[in-house]
A = this chain, B = another copy of it.
Amino acid sequence: MDIVRVVDELVCTRRVPGLGQASLRVVRSAQGALSVATDPVGVPVGRWVFATTGSAARLAMPDTTCMTDLTICGIIDHWDEGDGASPAAADEHRAPGKASGASKG
């Protein structure tokens, strides 16, 4: 599952019928890429979440026929891109000598 941050709601008046009542959110990855995800959890803007992709995204919706390919699955309790609390930063502390070119956006 992808780790992304909710940055906004999506306003979309003209859409295909198959999306139904799904709540749509704009999410941004650590690399800055923006996507649209369906949100069955109800996530406030600014929180880091993880989202499932592909056919599993439909299974994560209350209505499994919803035509989504990205669904928010849960809110990560503690995630802070940029300080030592993130797993990536902690890992770099544990094994600094092995970070051969790994780049964390």
Contacts and interface: CB of A to CB of B under 8 A. Distances in A.
Interface of A: 1-3, 5, 7-8, 10-16, 18-19, 24, 26, 28, 30-37, 40-41, 46, 50, 52-60, 65, 67-78, 80-82, 87-88, 90-91, 94-95, 97-98, 100-105
Contacts of A77: 11-13
Interface centre among A34, A59, A94, A102 (most CB of B within 10 A): A34
Count of this chain's copies in the oligomeric assembly: 5
B58 A12 contact: no
B18 A41 contact: no
Contacts of A13: 75, 77
Given A26-B87, A50-B12, A67 B76 contact: no
